[in-house]
Amino acid sequence: MVNRCPLSYETLEPEATYSLHGLKRLHRKLEALEVFPYSAEEQRYEAAQRASRMSIQGMQPKVSALLRVSKGRFEMVDSGGRYIVKPQHFAFRSLPENEDLTMRLAAACGIEVPVHGLVRCRDKSLSYVIRRFDREGRNSKLPLEDFAQLSGRNRKTKYDSSLEKVAGVVERHCTFPLLEKLKLFRRTLFCFICGNEDMHLKNFSLIVRDDKVELSPAYDLLNTTLAMPGTLEELALPLNGKGRKLKRSDWLEYWATGRLGLPDKVVQQALAQFENALPGWKELIERSFLERDSKIAYEKLIDERMRRLNLSA
């Protein structure tokens, strides 16, 4: 089996753990990284014990961590962590590998994502790590609100909305709404193509950067169709009154040029980006850390969704 760097997907020598390029993805001064000194089970336990003291929650167990660059290791903390670590889930297979790959696919077609990767753990499992994008400098926190907060919803009602209402939040709050609606179109279409059926209100956020209110970098992108096969819905939040059996006309005429008011030329350029990204996507899937059957299923899903949109696959 080929040894690859879980931070960069580069091919490694048999005894190597990370590539230098992979380490620099985490921090420009990082020269080495120790194995994360917890098993997946221990990380899940720590996530449960620390949940009430942490600002980050959600379905997947997660812990907050600091990267000690000079010591070359991650350390688990209750607060002040600049990274979030997600271990293997006890019920769903390969969620860290799935999320890391899906985030890479998003970046490959021009969607902004935070620094992220996979790290090796004490029990030889892989955990997903992502840098918090709402932190700046030593102690500065950027203003950030998710769409559940902005819509008067909470964790229990985060599915009680629609993509049309998500667009309304963008129109009401963003400094340059048209630019952000293009980002929204590309992000929602990406989630459809890559089988992310769980983009609820808490998975969209607005952030204030450089005195602008804009969509935050994308996060929690996951091929849930792969993780939880058999799900009937294709969208967590309905579009044009439906959550499945969406057609090209729903995404283009109704959503992009209709509700979002995007110029047709801009929409066509966005579609071309997806088509041009496809060869690179397939290479990333092949180099990823998913099992062989999951790689085949992921690529098959993308091909089916691209065909439904009348895009080359």
Residues with catalytic function: 198
Query: Which residue do the tokens 């009401």 mark?
Result: 172
CA–CA distance, 87 with 292 (Å, rounded to integer): 21
Asked whether the beta carbons of 187 and 156 are under 8 A apart, the reply is: no
State the number of CA atoms in the 13 A half-sphere of 240 facing the CB: 17
Distance CA 212, CA 281 (A): 31
Is the Cβ–Cβ distance between 79 and 56 less than 8 Å?
Answer: no
Largest CA distance in the chain: 55
Q: What is the CA radius of gyration of the chain?
A: 19
* Number of CB atoms found within 10 A of residue 167's CB: 20
Rounded Cα distance, 21 and 27, in Å:
10
Residue 280: other Cβ atoms inside 10 A: 13
> Residue 206 forms beta bridges with which residues?
145, 215
Copy the structure tokens of residue 17: 């753990």
Residue 312: φ, ψ to 5°: -65, 135
Nearest CA-CA partner of 220 in 91, 52, 96, 38:
96
Sign of CA dihedral 279, 283, 250, 273: negative
The Cα–Cα gap between 312 and 199 comes to: 25
With the CA atoms of 163, 164, 170 and 176 taken in that order, what torsion angle do they form, in degrees rounded to the nearest 10?
A: 120
